[in-house]
């Protein structure tokens, strides 16, 4: 090459260039063919390497004579060649080697791309060196290319993994961190708990009040918009937290930060907003100074969410309930802390909307007890361990038992009865109310039908069976059809009345209305139960095919000493009669209450004055001998001792006297006994 060495001259003589790369293989022998370029000075060699790089026809091997002539010596030439292309392999040719290698290494360093060759050499040896170095170069190029491809692939894969990790830990709608991120972060906090014992870590769990109403009435797009706006407000609440709530450092957390496992420096409080799913959000507060800081943040959030939201051209208002759980040594894992905050949130909801509750151990114990009760209820329903009772409904004009209301009872393992309000509400919450309601219908129809069969057909009592049905059951468009099938399966055809609570969700009004008309057309009477407990009372009269109105016992219990309640009771009775509906007053317990109801023209009554809720056997005995009830006996004596006429209303509410009954009793009417034999709290 430069100042051609003897080796270069020998290669040229063998038609084998002193420097170059294999261009192609001989079609006969398969041997590589080289191109050669010769230079006579260091400058020319450097220029040639530069050009080869520019043309992407790189030099694989350079043979350089140590005694090169010109401005640049051999070692300087090599340094500049490597500066241009570090991959070039150098063979230094010299006639003597004593001490040369040490001086070369001191100048150029050790390298597997540097070879010292003593001249002259045998041609075969020279050929082998050229072939070996060229092949080594070719392999190194291939490896470099593969390494480049692999490097790009690894980088691409890492980028994809990062994006997937971001997606996996980011809520797509609100762009907030999600549940997996929260649990990962909680585990990190728990593992570092010992190093932050002087600070306070807390979890704020919240969900939106009335979100389902908005989502169902305005559509899912509006619901998504609302959730996104809530997320922004939560972020803003945390950005605006005052320094007292955040500790001594005046930090403003960027809630849009890229999700990583890295944390801020020790001592700096951090805040993160997480969306768990649906309308549930969590705020994670780390390294706070005081417990009150978390409560202050919760109050800020409640106030912010209470402000109206704009969805399109509408303004809507929602609220939020917040449960707070603090990290402590008793927390085993992130799931437990999240569960504690969730429990506190439900406690806040029970206190009323827009409330805050801090978790304590009593909440956990109550939750465990409730879960046990839920499991026992499922078992009781599955194993047919529930019981039914029947409370008589008395006709105040005839003194006869006109109907019974079916009441469910559940006796726990300790022999005590679980309050109906507790387990029925629980059945609603855990999705058992439909199954429970069908069980009550089937069992009551069978028990009642079997009881009536035991009477002489000529003396069989004409008594209706009133069964409470949940709004969820009535929301089923084929409920009337299902009920007809159930009655057919039992083999009995009772005089069935459906009792429905007046309160309900306005969104299911149309479906419930269609179901009620279907029941009415099938000859099944509709009774509105607990009338007066809801603000929608008067709507029931207009829309539903009502046969009977049952006034809630909360009114009956106070009519003797609450003038306002007494006026309302009279008005409801008169309104019902004008609309051709019978009236049942629940919770009658004293003779004074009964006398007032008779004065106001009430049709029917039930309560402990006459009888408590009875087993089917006790009901049968009472039907055979009504005088077993002291209250019934006194009522009948009272009715026969007074000579006056009262219009008797038919089952559909039509008076046979041509109009509503308004019968003031004369002052000479004898007083009834103050209490009946079954007087007690409750029905």
Which residue numbers are catalytic?
279
Reduce the DSSP state of residue 630 to 3 states and report it. helix
CA separation for the pair 245, 293 (Å, rounded): 4
- In which residue are the tokens 């009441």 written? 407
Q: Is the N-terminal amide bond of 254 cis, ω within 30° of 0?
A: no
CA 62 to chain centre: 71
CA separation for the pair 63, 99 (Å, rounded): 20
CA separation for the pair 408, 613 (Å, rounded): 9
Contact between 317 and 340 under an 8 Å Cβ cutoff? The reply is no
Q: CA dist 516 to 298, 526, 583, Å?
A: 45, 7, 19
Q: Which residues contact 58 (CB under 8 A, 6 or more apart)?
A: 21, 52, 85, 87, 88
Reduce the DSSP state of residue 641 to 3 states and report it. helix
Q: How many helices (H) and strands (E) does the chain have?
A: 23, 21
CA separation for the pair 364, 340 (Å, rounded): 7
CA separation for the pair 238, 272 (Å, rounded): 8
- φ and ψ at residue 202, rounded to 5 degrees: -145, 155
Q: Which residues contact 325 (CB under 8 A, 6 or more apart)?
A: 202, 203, 205, 337, 338, 340, 341, 343, 344, 358, 359
CA separation for the pair 11, 8 (Å, rounded): 5
Two tokens at 255?
């809630």
Residue 360 neighbours by CB distance under 10 Å: 13
Contact between 345 and 354 under an 8 Å Cβ cutoff? The reply is no
Two tokens at 217?
């009435």
CA separation for the pair 675, 681 (Å, rounded): 12
Contact between 536 and 504 under an 8 Å Cβ cutoff? The reply is yes
Q: Which residues contact 347 (CB under 8 A, 6 or more apart)?
A: 323, 357, 359, 363
């Amino acid at each position: 090459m430069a100042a051609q060495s003897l080796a270069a001259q020998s290669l040229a003589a063998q038609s084998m260039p002193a420097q170059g790369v294999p261009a192609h293989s001989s079609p006969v022998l398969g041997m590589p063919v080289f191109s050669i370029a010769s230079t006579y000075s260091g400058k020319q060699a450097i220029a040639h390497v530069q050009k080869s790089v520019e043309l992407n026809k790189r030099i694989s091997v350079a043979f350089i004579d140590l005694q090169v002539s010109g401005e640049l010596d051999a070692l300087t030439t090599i340094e500049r060649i490597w500066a241009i292309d570090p991959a070039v392999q150098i063979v230094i040719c010299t006639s003597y080697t004593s001490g040369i290698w040490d001086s070369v290494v001191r100048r150029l360093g050790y390298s597997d791309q540097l070879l010292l060759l003593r001249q002259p050499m045998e041609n075969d040896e020279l050929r082998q060196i050229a072939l070996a170095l060229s092949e080594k170069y070719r392999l190194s190029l291939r490896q470099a290319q593969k390494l480049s491809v692999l490097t790009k692939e690894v980088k691409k894969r890492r980028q994809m993994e990062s994006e997937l990790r971001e997606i996996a830990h980011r809520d797509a709608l609100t762009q907030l961190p999600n549940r997996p991120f929260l649990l990962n972060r909680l585990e990190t906090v728990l593992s570092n708990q010992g190093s932050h014992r002087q600070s306070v870590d807390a979890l704020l769990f919240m969900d939106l009040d009335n979100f389902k109403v908005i989502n169902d009435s305005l559509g899912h797009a509006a619901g998504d918009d609302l959730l996104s706006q809530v997320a922004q407000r939560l972020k803003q609440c945390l950005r605006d937290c005052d320094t007292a709530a955040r500790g001594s450092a005046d930090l403003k957390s960027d809630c849009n930060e890229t999700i990583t496992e890295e944390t801020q420096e020790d001592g700096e409080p951090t805040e993160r907003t997480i969306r768990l799913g649906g309308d549930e959000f969590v705020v994670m507060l780390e390294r706070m100074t005081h417990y009150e800081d978390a409560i202050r943040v919760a109050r800020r959030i409640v106030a912010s969410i209470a402000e109206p939201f704009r969805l399109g051209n509408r303004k809507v208002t929602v609220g939020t309930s917040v449960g707070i759980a603090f990290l402590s040594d008793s927390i085993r894992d992130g799931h437990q802390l999240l569960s504690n905050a969730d429990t506190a949130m439900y406690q806040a909801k029970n206190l009323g909307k827009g409330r805050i509750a801090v978790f304590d151990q009593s909440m956990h114990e109550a939750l465990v007890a409730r879960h046990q009760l839920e499991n026992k209820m499922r078992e009781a329903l599955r194993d047919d361990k529930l019981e039914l009772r029947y409370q008589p409904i008395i006709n105040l004009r005839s003194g006869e038992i006109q109907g019974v209301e079916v009441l469910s009872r559940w006796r726990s393992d300790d022999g005590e009865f679980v309050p109906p309000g507790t387990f029925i509400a629980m059945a609603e919450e855990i999705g058992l109310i439909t199954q429970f309601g069908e069980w009550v219908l089937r069992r009551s129809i069978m028990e009642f039908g079997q009881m009536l069969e035991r009477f002489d057909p000529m003396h069989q009592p004409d008594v209706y069976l009133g069964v409470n049905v949940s709004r969820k059951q009535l929301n089923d468009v084929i409920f009337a059809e299902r009920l007809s099938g159930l009655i057919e399966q039992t083999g009995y055809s009772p005089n069935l009345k459906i009792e429905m609570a007046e309160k309900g969700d306005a969104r299911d009004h149309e479906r419930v209305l269609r179901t009620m008309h279907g029941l009415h057309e099938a000859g099944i009477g509709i009774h509105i139960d607990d009338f007066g407990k809801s603000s929608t009372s008067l709507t029931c009269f207009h829309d539903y095919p009502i046969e009977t109105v049952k006034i809630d016992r909360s009114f009956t219990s106070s009519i003797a000493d609450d003038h306002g309640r007494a006026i309302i009771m009279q008005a409801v009775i008169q309104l019902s009669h004008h609309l051709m509906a019978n009236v049942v007053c629940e919770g009658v317990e004293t003779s004074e209450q009964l006398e007032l109801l008779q004065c106001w023209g009430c049709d029917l009554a039930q309560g402990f004055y006459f009888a408590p809720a009875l087993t089917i056997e006790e009901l049968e005995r009472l039907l055979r001998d009504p005088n077993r009830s002291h209250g019934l006996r006194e009522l009948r004596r009272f009715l026969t001792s007074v000579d006056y006429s009262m219009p008797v209303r038919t089952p559909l509410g039509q008076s046979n006297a041509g109009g509503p009954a308004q019968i003031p009793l004369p002052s000479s009417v004898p007083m009834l006994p103050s209490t009946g034999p079954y007087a007690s709290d409750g029905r």
